[in-house]
Structure 1
Amino acid sequence: MNSITRRCAALALLGLAGSASNAALAGPLPSYSSTYPSPNAACATYGNFVSCSTGVLNYLSGSGAGGFTGDYTFSAAQGALHNAIVVASNGGATLANGDAALPSENGFKTINGGQKDYFFTGESNDPANNGALANDTAFSWDMGLSTLNSKLTFDGDYHQMMIAFDFNNPQNSTASLPIWALVTIRDSAGTLANQYFETQQLDALDIFKDPSLFQSTKTFNGSAVTTPGSLDFALTVGAICVVSDTVSYPSPNGGSCPTGGQLINTNQASNAVEFINYIPSLDLKGLEGAGYDTLSVQVWMGCFGTGGPTSGPTLADARPVGPCDTGGYGDIFLIAGAALPDRNTVPEPDMLALAALSLCGLYAARRRGALR
């Protein structure tokens, strides 16, 4: 594994280190440390994103694998999310991000009462703002870089942004969910070109490739929805077969490991985080210093282009994506990762090392030897 990939892996989040006070609106985000070896059987690369299963991490910790200290599953209950910055949630109690940061945009509400089998930002569902949030668009979840970076700066250090995801429903080992996300870093003055960071399907030939190698072809100017194609979606899975601390593959039926390994159910519970995600090539603090001022996030998840009254709209390539999700679509929220002391000085231009938002589920498949 090359030095860039090792560095990306070393920055990933694993292990509860502390949390913010409910009463302290100016306090830090819930904070987690990077304390695990790489490569490992819990994580994989999806375009510009790296995603890790908390269930597999806990299994590795419990089995005595070197470097894993667990417990890696933590609460995503509605009350617990008041400390975080919520991008999307299946309940209304935590949608007011003013509890954590001002100004900010509220989180999207993903639950739909069973009326549709999909969710995407920009479907006439733009949340209200807490305070004067500049550059908010109706087609994305938006936040100012200055506000976001101030939340990541505490205890004398700047911290990496991590993205937590909770499946919610359905909660079973055969559940899977297609997800696509695009993070756009914008300069409201229009002087600087937009920077894009996108999820993609797992690369079966190199499942932990350097995330900085992927180049998004999408664009977003804030005036319309960006529509993905069917091949842009990552896929969460309900169960993973762990062969060793560095080798795993998705269970094809959620109930067995046909080529060996220990079956791990990735669905923890409706109130527990199941996947931790980050974007190693996104340096929010460096981009703010360069003149960028806004982070805009678009998320699509569920069933699209399959027809019927509950299906989402046609995708860019006019091909369907599934399976559909009839549940709550999950919670997506931001947390602070490992401290990055070098970000308190001058950012290194060749190492963009912060993660921003979006949701990419783990379709983990670590392969070596016969599995590769």
Structure 2
Amino acid sequence: MNIKRAMALAGLLGTGMLASAPAAALDLTCGGACPWVTYGDGNSFLLQYNAYIYNQLNGGGVGPGNPYYIDSTPGAIKDLTVIGTGTSSNPATTNTSGMDDAYPTPNSSGIPYFSTGTTADPNGANEFTGDGAGTWDVSLGALKSFMGTDNSLIFFFNNNQIKSGGAVNEGLAGWAQITLRDAAGNVIGVFDLTNQGDKFATIADGGGGTLLGDPTAYTHAGALDNPLIGTNAATDYILSGGKQCLNAGGALVSCSDPTATQSFDANLGANQAAYAIVFPELDAQLMSLFAGDITNYSMNVNLRMGCDPGIGDQADCVGRSLNNGYEQVFLSTASNLKQVPEPGVLALLGIGMIGLWGGTLRRRG
């Protein structure tokens, strides 16, 4: 992995040029200062890193009150759209008309895998006509109403693995596929969150993903609902959880590297979202469809987490299995969340920040 630079935050802070502007809707890029990792069609943001950047620029800490501290307790997500949750309490498990209710994810240890295709559908016979089997489904009419004037969906995920036993116990495997279907049930769009057959590892340890990647560079190919299970050397499942680390110079390095001085946790528990994921091409197609007749159109989410039962060698379940339960996936838009003040020069500083991340090339195994 040839990741050269990450951030020179101390230098930016030393400019003394940071002043707050009026509040705006949540900006996952922090005006250009916060990086992402692209997995197929999705851009993934590590929220603990975002919170750290925001705190350095604005103060206030990284806990509650920081706009990138996303509360995922049942009370906090009850008015959002929940795809999967470990809680059994309403209304967090019940979505509005035109949407499947939340799938029940494992809420205790001993269940190493979750899939919308193998878990009892919470809606039974009340499925949408023309949807995909084994998916969480929403009519585009209901989705349009939920999004309102926003033009981007944000998928939030909380990682709730055990903290004991070292880093390997904090990670789990995740993969998702989103399809759009027209009124006749024909697939008109496919969007994958995928490791693309790379090593099951963090990006700094040689895993898949592209730092500051471009989702348009990836195009789905092949059958639906068919991730490469593979081995830990090559799989479509992404490593979720654990930590990302920087050295004293701000470079992204393996957390096992003795020069690592700063770490960002991704295993934050059931009450705080660890990742925010956006699909720019999905958003663009939705906006185009919303301008026309979307009667009986649907969006279908195929979600898988943990050690796939189809894996051949149990050694390749290391770091993949669900071991604690209560992982959650929920949908929001920027305006549904807390407002974020944007420093007046943050966008300009972000240009320099991206330059520092720049030159990072994707490692292919």
Same fold (TM over 0.5): yes
Equivalent in the alignment of 1:194: 188
Q: CA deviation at 1:301?
A: 1.0
Contact 2:42 2:280 in 1 (8 A): yes
1: distance between equivalents of 2:116 and 2:211? 28
Q: Secondary structure at the match of 2:30?
A: coil
5+ residue gaps, structure 2, are 1-22, 196-202, 337-355
1:162 aligns with 2:154: yes
Equivalent in the alignment of 1:334: 331
2: distance between equivalents of 1:227 and 1:87? 20
2: distance between equivalents of 1:33 and 1:40? 9
Contact 2:243 2:263 in 1 (8 A): yes
Percent sequence identity is 22
Higher normalized contact order (CA 8 Å, seq sep 6+, divided by chain length): 2
Equivalent in the alignment of 1:61: 54
Q: CA deviation at 1:54?
A: 1.1
Report the residue type matching 1:93 in the other structure: S
Q: Secondary structure at the match of 1:116?
A: coil
Higher helix share: 2
Q: Secondary structure at the match of 2:141?
A: helix
Q: CA deviation at 1:158?
A: 3.0
Matches within 5 A, 1:1-372: 32-34=26-28, 36-38=30-32, 40-41=34-35, 43-64=36-57, 70-94=66-90, 98=94, 100-111=95-106, 113-128=108-123, 133-153=128-148, 157-171=149-163, 174=167, 175-190=170-185, 192-201=186-195, 206-220=210-224, 226-230=226-230, 231-243=235-247, 247-252=251-256, 257-282=257-282, 283=284, 284-289=286-291, 293-304=297-308, 312-314=309-311, 320-323=316-319, 324-328=321-325, 330-337=327-334
Q: CA deviation at 1:170?
A: 2.2
Q: Secondary structure at the match of 1:139?
A: coil
Q: Secondary structure at the match of 1:149?
A: helix
**How many residues in Structure 1 have an aligned counterpart in Structure 2?**
295
Report the residue type matching 1:294 in the other structure: S
Identify which range, 238-247 or 78-87, moves more after superposition.
238-247
4+ long deviations beyond 6 Å: 129-132, 369-372
Q: CA deviation at 1:245?
A: 10
Q: CA deviation at 1:159?
A: 3.5
5+ residue gaps, structure 1, are 1-16, 19-30, 305-311, 340-365
Report the residue type matching 2:332 in the other structure: I
Query: CA deviation digits over 1:30-89, x for unaligned, max 9?
Result: x74456133634x211111011111111111222389x9943112100122211111010
Report the residue type matching 1:168 in the other structure: N
After superposition, the CA RMSD in angstroms is: 3.7
Q: Secondary structure at the match of 1:194?
A: strand
Cα 1:169–1:150 shift into 2, 3 Å: same
Cα 1:232–1:286 shift into 2, 3 Å: same
Cα 1:296–1:61 shift into 2, 3 Å: same
